[in-house]
Structure 1
Amino acid sequence: MFYLLLFMIGIAAGTLGSLVGLGGGIITVPALIYLNRVFPEVFEISPQVAVGTSLIVIIFTGLSSTLSYMKLQKVDYRSGFIFFIGSGPGGIVGAWLNSYFNVETFLLYFGIFMLFVSTLLMLRNRIKPLEVKPGKHTITNNYTDHHGVEKMYGYHPPIAIIISFFVGMIGGLFGVGGGALMVPAMLLLFAFPPQIAVATSMLMILLSSITSSIAHISMNNIDWLLALILVPGAWFGGKLGVYINSKLESNTIVIILRIALLIIGFRLIYQGIS
């Protein structure tokens, strides 16, 4: 029964992660820490091991969903690899910083971080994206929204790399893959359409989770048995999330993302101070 529960957690993490581009760590990490408190006789897991194990699972969620988004032609490959230039090294730094957190501090800061991102999304329509004009030092793309109106999104690569470095650091620190911050950044700062932002985020998450995982493996922060049970569910959930994403309106995706971050943020803060 316990292993079936872990499998279901994998499905939930993979589905939500690929649906809104989070990677699934916002489900896996708090779930593992919570189960450790409820079933201490079954296994003992530290925040560091929860994060490291989550990142291994996110690799497979990222691979599963990225392959599916590729078939739907939603992935901006160039942007994904540019973001990885920053998020890869950032993930390694985050993995190193993770070793300095205890359980209560970890949960508290993780929860505050989730609420912060959710608040940003709530103010999304009031935040004006950075002005980007086609030119030699900018990257821009055009897309047509569901009303048939052609729009442009884009960014300055140096700014994007700096932001993605901190995104990767957050991912390596909290085991969330970085999408919890990168998707809002793409939506708010670079005017990405939500479905392109989610798909491109999953590509970046796949790449940065690999580098972060290597750092956590070197520090023995992986519970391989837990990862083995979680991965099949996360793989299936990754494909399910892509399917659901393709059926939803863009604003619906943002609303789901915001609600998910709010609920989990409050829950983590409660766990951290109780």
Structure 2
Amino acid sequence: MATFPISGVHTWLWLPPLVAFCISFFTSMVGISGAFLLLPFQMSVLNYTAPSVSATNLVYNLAATPGGVYRYLREGRMVWPLVWVIVAGTLPGIVIGFYLRVMYLPDPRDFKLFAGLVLLYIGYRVLAEFLPWHEKSETEATRPQPVTAIRMLQFSLARASFSFGEQVFSFSVPAMFLLALIVGVIGGTYGIGGGAIIAPFCVALFGLPVHAIAGAAIAGTLFTSVAGVALYSLLPAPAGMVTQPDWALGLLFGLGGFAGMYFGARCQKRVPQRILKLLLGLLLMLLAGYYIFAFFA
């Protein structure tokens, strides 16, 4: 076993990359960074609850997400205008999220409640289509699509559209920017990067297909995580509070995450998205319940 001096984590060297590989293999298929599940593992299993755990999680994103980005690029499934809107919106959100984390949520108990509420809402959005009161009519985003390359049709400050398979999809650029800003605040506070959890919102609120937007969401996570790591490393924090990342632990997680994201992106088109979303949503709800009930226990 090894001890990481910055975080104080004591664990086997093989455990972080193995856990990161398993998590990122499945989450990359739906365009979500494995960081949002990796944080509960660090806090509950490794007992790493200091504010710097958020920064360490962002280091994982830096090392892990290039694997998924490369694979989606290779297959021509990257909506670049969506990437840039995500980055533009989430960057200021991450700055706000940093100060929320170090000024108002430094206590591990309070932060776990916040994390539980975030996971609860994401889980609800992912599982919405499986709920009995959800409208069952088939939409363009839920109808099975041939997994082909993406072709941009229009991009302006007002609207963007692209073709995927046999359908045309579009979204409002100002509305997507506002969503990215809000998600950036959450991601900056939670330590998962701005674009790490935007994919479920793109699917649920804008009706965009998972196969088409997964690459853009992961690419947005990569770019905004760079800013997030810089914020936690360079900006001043309250006296006595350590916010700098544990680079060794983060890169060890990232090693497994890189392989997991690459193979997850490669296998994505062979796995039914309804199955992936159902399993992911149930796991999110389980984790959310654990943290919320622990706060009130």
Verify the 8 A CA contact 2:35 2:196 in the aligned structure 1: no
Does the C-alpha gap of structure 1 residues 86 and 179 become closer, same or farther in structure 2, counting only changes over 3 Å? Answer: closer
Whether the 8 Å CA contact 1:57–1:227 is kept in 2: the answer is yes
| Alpha-carbon distance in structure 2 between the residues aligned to 1:162 and 1:22 | 19
Q: Structure 1 residue 164 and structure 2 residue 167: aligned?
A: no
| C-alpha distance 171-238 of structure 1, shift in aligned 2 (>3 A) | same
- Compute the displacement of 1:216 (Å): 1.0
1:70 to 60, 63, 73: 73
- Displacement of 1:170 after TM fit? 1.1
Q: Which amino acid aligns with 1:15?
A: F
Contact 2:17 2:255 (8 Å CA) reproduced: yes
Asked if 1:28 corresponds to 2:49, the answer is: no
TM-score, structure 2 as length reference:
0.79
Please state whether the residue corresponding to 1:142 is helix, strand or coil. Answer: strand
Counterpart CA distance in 2 for 1:268 and 1:68 is 34
Match of 1:211? 227
- Choose the corresponding residue for 1:120, options 110, 121, 125: 125
Partner of 2:168: 152
2:112 corresponds, among 104, 107, 110, to 107
Query: Sequence identity, in percent?
Result: 19
What is the TM-score of this pair, normalised by structure 1?
Answer: 0.85
Which runs of 5 or more residues in structure 1 are unaligned? 38-44, 145-149
User: Residue 234 and residue 86 in structure 1: after superposition, are their counterparts in 2 closer, same or farther (change >3 A)?
Assistant: same
Check 1:243–1:256 CA distance in 2 against 1; reply closer, same or farther (3 A cut). Answer: farther
- The answer on whether the counterparts of 2:127 and 2:277 sit within 8 Å (CA) in structure 1 is no
Q: Could you say what secondary structure the match of 1:176 adopts?
A: coil
Within 2, Cα distance between the matches of 1:47 and 1:127? 44
CA distance in 1, matches of 2:56, 2:26: 18
Using the TM superposition, give the Cα deviation of residue 205 of structure 1 relative to its aligned residue in structure 2, in angstroms: 0.7
Gaps in structure 2 of 5+ consecutive residues: 2-11, 140-153, 236-242
Q: 2-11 or 100-109, which moves further after superposition?
A: 2-11
Which of residues 210, 213, 218 is equivalent to 1:194? 210
Judging changes above 3 Å, is the alpha-carbon distance between structure 1 residues 202 and 127 closer, same or farther for their aligned structure 2 residues? farther
Higher helix fraction: Structure 1 or Structure 2? Answer: 1
- Tell me if the contact between 1:177 and 1:205 (Cα under 8 Å) persists in the aligned partners: yes
Q: Which amino acid aligns with 1:108?
A: L
**How many angstroms apart in 2 are the aligned matches of 1:31 and 1:163?**
27
Say if 2:169 and 2:208, in contact at 8 Å, map to a contact too. Answer: yes
> What's the offset of the Cα at 1:30?
1.0
What one-letter code is carried by the residue in structure 1 that aligns with 2:65?
Answer: G
Measured in 2, the distance between the counterparts of 1:23 and 1:67 equals: 15
**Letter aligned with residue 193 of structure 2:** G
